[in-house]
Each structure stands twice: as structure tokens, then as C-alpha cells.
Amino acid sequence: MNERAAPPPPLQGIRVIELGNYIAGPGTAMTLGDLGAEVVKVESLEGDMARHTGHFGHAMLRAYNRSKKSIALDLRNPRGVEIARRLIAHADVVVQNLRPGAAEALGLGADALREGQPGLVYVSISGFPASAPSRDRPGYDIAAQAESGLMSVTGEPQGLPQKVGATIIDTATVQVAAQAILAALFRRVRTGIGETIRISLLEVALNLQLPNWSDYLARGVEPTRSGDGQPLSAPAADIFRTRDGMVVVSAYVQAHWVRLCETIGCPELATDPRFLTNELRVANRPAMKEAVSERLSRYGTRECVDLLTRNSIVVGVVRSYSDALAGEDFRASSMVIEAAPNGDRPGYRSFGLPYELCDTPRRQTQAAPAHGAHTEELLREAGLSHAEIAALREAGVVKADQSARVPGTVDVIR
């Protein structure tokens, strides 16, 4: 029997032009690259701003710039803009998160480009909605966390508002933008019509808090910080110490609470007047946590997880990054990828897509490119002669080629 031929990557044949910095724009484009698209990263002569922000900036570059070719252009020069437009003329998708108004000022905004390319999918990522009074303010993850109310509900009850410990809004924006692009490309297959997509970090941050906002809009009760626990449910995300570590437990559904009490050998807690309902457990959270902790602290972490899991109680081990790295579940994850050394840069581990395409074979892809590594290659593809390229280089419109630094490869699609 002949085996069925493996399908190509979902976005094979799609070309993406990225004008981006840091995470939201580059991450969106890289996600499309992980799905098989060709991604061209158009950088200024200074490069993606992440290249100039220390160790965390380099981590952003490694994390969000695989699967790309890099061309470095002076977009303040009309000849640089002309080259960018040549590249876009053969593209299906443009992703940009330049400062507000910058793309339009360069003649690279959605209206200008889609006028001659009605099938183009154009994605603009900003800090604030396009119609908002703050639309011209620079938008960063932390500003969205602050202005969406997320910081106000994060931290200890008597402490100051806190940010989430990762760039959660930028990262969520990557997934939201990729989803919108895939929808637009699907419609284009059926109609031939592209789309202009506007995404703001503020709106993504609000969307991430839908349960909180839904409750607030319905009841008008301001949510507050509640530390490790959920403000309206208990126990839910509450931390309990074991003999040798910490776990979080979620058992706020009444049947689950009763089962938890029975599992830890304290069935009387289920009928304790202080804990009879979820609302009472929220009101008496310190006493509830003390009673449950007294029992769970008798178990080792592994023993505690096994016990609660056997009885269908949701439990998670509170791990540091090093603990997570050493964990069996981390090692079993197929999203962990190995990037081979790239010239004088050592190889590194990173994450691919957070899901598996089970019918699609692994696709070899390149690690993050050096700044302008594919400049001359892309200029030749755009139809420029060697003499024209040399003249552009001499005039400082493009960066000298660095393609001799051969990128490593990583496994992305599974």
C-alpha cells in the first residue's frame, strides 16, 4: 500500500514582510514563518531595537526572529523606501509595529500599499486603539499592563500593584495577530480581497482579563489584589507548602472541595460553617489555607501531587525556571528546539510553536539572522544589478552583506 504523501507546511508559498522591533511585530512574523511562510525582516541601518538592549534584548532576538531573512535599509532615504516597496510588491502579508504614524509617514502604511495591492494583508500593531486619544503614544507591554487594570489586580492585598513576571501582553499579541492574519488569508483564498488589521496592546490586555471585566461590568464591584489566590474563588491558585516545596491547588467547585477535604483526611472541613460555600471560603481564606496547609505540609511534593491527582484534584508544583527545565514534562515537550551554532555565536535552546501539527513533518528552519545578513541576496531578488547594489552600499542606503555567517537550523513544525 502506498503511504499518503506528507502535506507541505500550511503557509508554504506565503511571503511576509516585517517592519518590527522587540516582540509583538517580530513574534507575529516568526509565527507565520514557523508555519512555513517566507519572512523578510526589514531593519533600519541601526537594526531592530532589541539588538541594543542588553541580555534581554538578545534573548528577544533569539526567541522571535527564527525563520527569517534580514535586509538592512535606510528608510529615511527615498531609495531605501523604494526598495522596501519592491519587496512588499511580491508579498502577501506586511506586519509592522513601528512607532505610531511612522509607516504612514514613509509611504508604507496600509492605505498606500493596499491601493495597488488589494489582496495584501496588512497588520499594524500599536499600544493604543487607532481612534483613542492616546493613539500617538508609544506602546509597550508594561503600559498596557498598567492601563488595562492588570497591575491593579496583581500582587499582595496590602502591597503595591505589580506587573506580571513576563512580557505577557506582547506575547499574547503575537498569538492574536497570527490568528487574525490566518483568518484574513483564509478569506482571501475565497474572495481575493486582503485586509487591514489593527491590533493594540491595550485591547489585548483587556481581553486577557475577560472574567474580571465581565464581573466588574455586571456588578460594578472593583476587583482587588489577592496575592496567590483567585479573588472570587477559593481554593483556586492558592499556594500551599509541602514538606519540601510548594504546590497550587484548585478545588473551588463544591464537589471538588468536598473531595479535597476527604482526600487529605479532614472531611469535617467540608461542613465547617466558615467553608460551606465558595463565597465563605473566599471571605475566610486565611483560615481555610491554614487548615489545608496543616495537612498538605505532611507530604512531600511528589507524594502530594500523586495523592491529589489520584483523586481528581487540580494541583501544580510551583517551580523555578531551573526546576521546570529539569522536569519530566518539560523534557517531553515537543516545542523545545535546538538551534545550531551560527558563525561565532553558540547554539541555543528555544521554543517553537506551542502546538503540534500531527500530520505535518518537521521543517528545518534557520536560526535568527545577523543584522542585514541577507541584504544583497534580497536586493538581487528584487532585480537590482551588482553595480546598483554597490552604489547603494557606497551611498549608505543599505548595509554591507553578512551572509557569510551561515545560520544554524532548528526543528520547528512537527
User: What digits encode the pLDDT tens for the residues 348-386?
Assistant: 788 889 998 999 877 776 788 899 989 999 999 999 999
CA 259, 265, 271, 275 torsion: positive or negative?
negative
Q: Whose CA is closest to 226, among 166, 281, 158?
A: 158
Distance from C-alpha of 69 to C-alpha of 26, rounded to nearest angstrom: 12
Q: Give residue 340's pLDDT band: very low, low, confident or very high (50, 70, 90).
A: low
- Please state whether the peptide bond connecting residue 235 to the residue before it is cis, i.e. omega within 30 degrees of 0: yes
Distance from C-alpha of 258 to C-alpha of 270, rounded to nearest angstrom: 5
pTM for the structure as a whole: 0.92
Sketch out the chain's domains with CATH numbers.
Answer: 15-208+334-411 (3.40.50.10540), 236-318 (3.30.1540.10)
Q: Give residue 67's pLDDT band: very low, low, confident or very high (50, 70, 90).
A: confident
More confident residue, 77 or 399: 77
Distance from C-alpha of 25 to C-alpha of 134, rounded to nearest angstrom: 20
| Cβ contact 414:356 at 8 Å | yes
Rounded to an integer, the average pLDDT of 176-203 is 98
Residue-level pLDDT at 401: 55
- Tell me which of 187-201, 322-336, 357-371 is least confident: 357-371
- Tell me which of 230-239, 246-255, 400-409 is least confident: 400-409
Give the pairing type, strands 195-200 and 121-126.
Answer: parallel
Arithmetic mean of pLDDT over the chain = 92
| Cβ contact 344:394 at 8 Å | no
Q: Give residue 337's pLDDT band: very low, low, confident or very high (50, 70, 90).
A: confident
Q: Whose CA is closest to 197, among 108, 116, 110?
A: 110
Residue-level pLDDT at 411: 44
| Cβ contact 232:220 at 8 Å | no
Distance from C-alpha of 267 to C-alpha of 273, rounded to nearest angstrom: 13
Residue-level pLDDT at 412: 45
DSSP 8-class letter at 401: P
pLDDT at 2 over 60: no
Residue-level pLDDT at 255: 97
pLDDT at 1 over 60: no
Q: Interior CA angle at 261 toward 259 and 267, to 5°?
A: 105
Residue-level pLDDT at 5: 78
Give residue 349's identity as a one-letter amino acid code.
R
DSSP 8-class letter at 99: S
pLDDT at 345 over 70: no
Phi, psi angle pair for 52, to nearest 5°: -120, 20
Three cell numbers written together for 225? 489584589
| Cβ contact 274:285 at 8 Å | no
| Cβ contact 141:205 at 8 Å | no
**How far out from the chain centre does Cα 280 lie?**
37
Rounded to an integer, the average pLDDT of 28-37 is 96
